Amino acid sequence: MHAYLLTYNSGLISDYSQTRLFLNSKMSKPRRKPLFNILLFTFVACAIYFVASSDRKSLPTLISTRANSAPVVEPAKAAIAKQNPIDTKLDAEVDLTGAQDLEGSLTETPFMPKMANETLKAQLGNSAWHLLHTVLARFPEEPSASEKSTLKQFVHLFAQVYPCGDCARHFQKLLKKYPPQVGSRKTAAIWGCHIHNKVNERLNKDEYDCTKILEDYDCGCGDDEKKTDFTLGNESMEHLRQISVDEVSPRQGG
């Protein structure tokens, strides 16, 4: 009986020991998780700190690099404005208007009033024709496309702002029938002479000899320019007589 009790007690002690070991093992596992979380949090915090510190150090360098590479525009403009205040003001006014606005606001018909003083009208006509013929006589012999376009616009705008309103309206009708011909210097000069003769015909004046137009309206710049730019282009007067002006036929209604 005594031996049985000892064996029974030994079993109880063994079961108790195993149970305690089992419980201790179960209890020790949860304790490891908080420790692991703390270590993980510490690692992440350190990583964020080092990344943030490196960004703070590199940010001034990046800003300095961009500042040095950026083009210096405003100081240059300020210096120009200080040196040329009038020119800067004019440039600003041009920028405000814009090339597109200027092009879209051009008039289509002459707007100057009628000039009643016949003496002033005759003086104005002589001066205007002298200017126009001189421009045409100085036009390039082989003009570029932009030069041709510029001369055409000049002629049409010249008709718009001509101070004699009734004269300008008549001249505009001639431009519609005989458009400016700007293929070369000689062609432009002959065209201008032809238009002038149309006006002379309306005013009952004598017809001008167009073969002399380039000689009569040479710039008079002296022998130095004639050596490098012959007005007639080494061509005879007979060639000038063969140049004709194209006429635009009026459109028929219907």
Residue 246 banded pLDDT, cuts 50, 70, 90: low
Rounded to whole angstroms, the Cα distance separating 218 from 142 reads 17
Rounded to whole angstroms, the Cα distance separating 116 from 122 reads 11
Q: Please tell me the predicted confidence (pLDDT) of residue 179.
A: 94
CA distances from 200 to 129, 164, 195, 203 (A): 11, 16, 9, 5
Residue 196 has pLDDT above 70, yes or no: yes
Q: Which of 68, 94, 127 is the last residue of a domain?
A: 68
Provide mean pLDDT across the span 51-74: 51
| Domain count of the fold of the chain | 2
- Do residues 250 and 230 touch, judged by C-beta distance below 8 A? no
Residues 55 and 129 in one domain: no
Residues 126 and 210 in one domain: yes
Q: Please tell me the predicted confidence (pLDDT) of residue 73.
A: 46
Residues 107 and 50 in one domain: no
Residues 107 and 230 in one domain: yes
Residues 120 and 235 in one domain: yes
Provide mean pLDDT across the span 28-34: 53
Confidence (pTM): 0.50
Residue 219 banded pLDDT, cuts 50, 70, 90: low
Residue 214 banded pLDDT, cuts 50, 70, 90: confident
Residue 188 has pLDDT above 50, yes or no: yes
- Assess if residue 131 is contained within a domain: yes
For residues 74 and 117, the model is more confident at 117
- The pLDDT mean for the chain works out to 70
For residues 243 and 226, the model is more confident at 243
Residues 111 and 200 in one domain: yes
Residue 148 has pLDDT above 80, yes or no: yes
Residues 165 and 208 in one domain: yes
Residue 84 has pLDDT above 80, yes or no: no
Residue 131 banded pLDDT, cuts 50, 70, 90: very high
Residues 210 and 153 in one domain: yes
Question: Helix, strand, or coil here: 37?
Answer: helix
Residues 7 and 118 in one domain: no
- Assess if residue 6 is contained within a domain: yes
Rounded to whole angstroms, the Cα distance separating 242 from 126 reads 27
Residues 115 and 204 in one domain: yes
Provide mean pLDDT across the span 79-101: 46
- Assess if residue 97 is contained within a domain: no
Q: Please tell me the predicted confidence (pLDDT) of residue 86.
A: 46
Provide mean pLDDT across the span 4-15: 52
Rounded to whole angstroms, the Cα distance separating 198 from 83 reads 52
- Do residues 243 and 186 touch, judged by C-beta distance below 8 A? yes
Residue 224 has pLDDT above 50, yes or no: no
Residues 149 and 232 in one domain: yes
Provide mean pLDDT across the span 234-240: 54
CATH number, domain with residue 197: 1.20.120.310
Provide mean pLDDT across the span 95-124: 73
Residue 211 has pLDDT above 60, yes or no: yes
Q: Please tell me the predicted confidence (pLDDT) of residue 88.
A: 46
Provide mean pLDDT across the span 151-163: 92
Provide mean pLDDT across the span 162-186: 91
Identify the domain containing residue 110 by its residue range: 103-242
Q: Which of 216, 211, 219 is CA-nearest to residue 242?
A: 211
Q: Please tell me the predicted confidence (pLDDT) of residue 109.
A: 79
Residue 243 has pLDDT above 80, yes or no: no
